[in-house]
Structure formats: C-alpha cells, structure tokens
Amino acid sequence: MRIVVLAGGTSTERDVSVSSGLLVSAALREKGHEVVLLDVFTGYEQDICDVNALFKQNYSFTDSAKVGETISDIDEIKEKRRDKSGRFIGENIIDICSFADITFFALHGGEGENGQLQAAFDLLGLKYTGSGYLGSALAMNKGLTKSVLIQNKVLTPRGEIFKNEADAESWKIFPCVVKPCSGGSSVGITIVETREEFKQSVKEAFSYGESEVVVEQYVKGREFAVGVLGDRALPPIEIIPKTGFYDYKTKYQAGAAIEQCPADITPEQDRAMRDAAFATFKALHLESYARMDFILDKGNNAYCLEANTLPGMTPTSLLPQEAAVEGISYADLCELIIKYSLEKYNK
C-alpha cells in the first residue's frame, strides 16, 4: 500500500507526534509499504513535487525526534514556515495524500485530533485512520466527554466547565483537578489542594489558549489505561509514577513511571475496566481504535477520566504495550489500525 503518515502540527503535543510518526513510518516500511512521512503544518516545501518519487524513496521530513521535559516553541516552528501563512495544512499535503491508499494520522492534540482535519479529509474524499470528525470532537473536549459519559451512565468524576477565571471562583470542592478543556498529554493539568493553588492552576490552564477549563473532583486511586482496537478492549495497563502524577514529563521520559501490563488486578476489576472502556468508545462515537484513562479507587470503582482518539505511538506509549500482551507486535498494531480504519469506508 501507499501510505502517508502525518505528524507534527502546532499543538503542545507536537514533539510526541513526531516521535509517533517516525516509529509508525518505520514499522509500516518494514511491512513492505511505501510510506511518506510529512509534517502536516510545514508540508513539503519544494517547487517541484514528484509524488511518485516521494513514495518510491520513502520520503521523511525528519529522521530524528526527541520528546523533552517541556513542549516545543510553536511560534518558532511557525516562523520557519516558507509561506509564513497560519493555515494548518501545509504546502502539497493534500496533493500527496490524494495519491495514498490511506493517511495514517500520527497527530496528537489541536486541529489534528479535534475533528477539524478529519472533517476536511471527509469533504475531500481522503481516507484516514482513527475516528471521524464527530467522535474526535466529542472526545477532545473534556467537558463534552464528561456530559456524554454521564448521559450513558459511565462512571466519571464530578466536574464543571468554566469559561473564565472569575466564574471558576464558584468551585468549592478540594482537592480537585484543573485541566485545559481540549489539551492532551497532561499538559497544563494540576492537582490542587487549596484555594490559592486553585487560582494559580486555573490561570495556568487558560494560558494554553483555551476558552474553557474543566475542574473536577480529585479521585484518589490507581491509574490505568485501556485501549480499544476494533471490536475488543485490550488488557488494562497500570501506570505507577515514581513521583507525583502521570504528567507530561512522566509520560515521555524513560524510567519516570512503572507501567505494568498485565496489571495486578482481579478478573472482576479487569472486566469492569474493559467494559467501561468499550462503553465509552461507543458512547463517544469512536471508530477503529482509541485509549481510555481510568482511576480505580479503593472501593473498586473505575472512574473514566477521558478518551484519546489518537493515542501515542512513542517508545513509552501505553497502547503498544497493551497490544504486545495480546501477542500483537508494534508493526502488526499499525497494520491493524489501518485495517480497522479502512473497514469504516466499506460499510
């Protein structure tokens, strides 16, 4: 197959996306596919674009990526763009994707994951991996996710959405969690104990360009993730941070957390989380694959925190680890994601 892998972009998760894209591209090439890896934002900035040649040479816009402890300077990325425009889709991206059998979205956060790019590809008749625009939009907005889960009787922490710092002053439950409404990779998320900490955390959450923030009750317990691949839920994986909670630094720095799969849980706890993950997947109109995050409290209540429609595929990412326990190699996982994604176009 001819496959374009789209990575990069302008979200706070850009570095994670590039790391995912490089690994996905390498795995698909090992399987014999012709793969072009592109940055969706910078595009292919050449006056002559020989698409057939790009696929034959397995072109990549970069051959290295490093996810640091902090996010990249997005303004610097934008400044380097040749046409200096602010449009999300870079030069020649659509033309190159139109020659592919499918585009693998290795994007995380922002316009690449919130349904906007999915809607654009739908209008252009281009096939892509993962959920469609509706499920992507619902899952990206943590406030909408919470509303949908409550309506579908999926257990989730109590919370509220606030549009400004003044409105957030009405929150009275502590400890609590403050997070940007549509962010990812735990960027901007803080656990708050006091009113003073709360004010600063709300300010920080709004600093990431969000028009809304979500504040929810803090549920103390063990952290888990459960992937869904096609029509099945994968084994829960437990995340045990060595310090603090599972924030951006802990997620992407090797050795910062212990990740255990199969998790040390009872069959009943395993089944409850898998069932809740699949119920969340269906309630949010997700397709092909996704990953749901949970807190399991001392009373064995599994609280669903959020859904990730384009989960990370980096060396430390959770979904590949879950798949491996089921005997699915990284390369096979990439092909299965493509297989399930193509099936939605055959319905």
Segments making up each domain of the chain, as ranges: 2-128, 158-217, 222-343
Phi/psi region, residue 185 (left: phi>0; alpha: psi -120 to 50; beta: rest), is: left
Q: What pLDDT does 186 receive?
A: 54
Q: What pLDDT does 208 receive?
A: 75
CATH number for region 2-128: 3.40.50.20
Q: What pLDDT does 17 receive?
A: 94
Cα–Cα distance between 6 and 35 in angstroms, integer?
10
Instruction: Identify the three-state secondary structure at position 176.
Output: strand
User: Residue 313, class by beta-carbon neighbours within 10 Å (0-12 exposed, 13-18 middle, 19+ buried)?
Assistant: buried
User: Residue 249, class by beta-carbon neighbours within 10 Å (0-12 exposed, 13-18 middle, 19+ buried)?
Assistant: middle
Q: What pLDDT does 244 receive?
A: 56
Q: Are 17 and 112 in contact (CB under 8 A)?
A: yes
pTM: 0.88
Least Cα distance to 322 among 224, 249, 222 occurs for 224
Q: How many other C-beta atoms are found inside a 10 Å radius of the C-beta of residue 237?
A: 21
Across 90-151, the runs of DSSP E, i.e. the strands, are 102-105
For 71, residues 6+ apart whose C-beta sits below 8 A from its C-beta are 12, 13, 14, 15, 187, 248
How far is CA 97 from its chain centroid? Answer: 21
Q: What pLDDT does 185 receive?
A: 46
Least Cα distance to 136 among 107, 97, 98 occurs for 107
320: cis peptide before it, omega within 30°? no
Q: What pLDDT does 13 receive?
A: 87
Looking at domain 158-217, what is its CATH homologous superfamily? ATP-grasp fold, A domain (3.30.1490.20)
Distance set, CA 118 to CA 88, 104, 137, 170 (Å): 13, 11, 10, 36
Q: What is the mean pLDDT of each run of 10 residues along the chain (347 residues)?
A: 96 90 97 98 93 97 73 77 90 97 95 96 98 96 93 95 90 92 67 91 84 91 97 96 56 68 97 97 98 96 96 90 96 98 91
DSSP structure class, residue 302 = E
Q: What pLDDT does 87 receive?
A: 92
CATH number for region 222-343: 3.30.470.20
Q: How many other C-beta atoms are found inside a 10 Å radius of the C-beta of residue 224?
A: 25
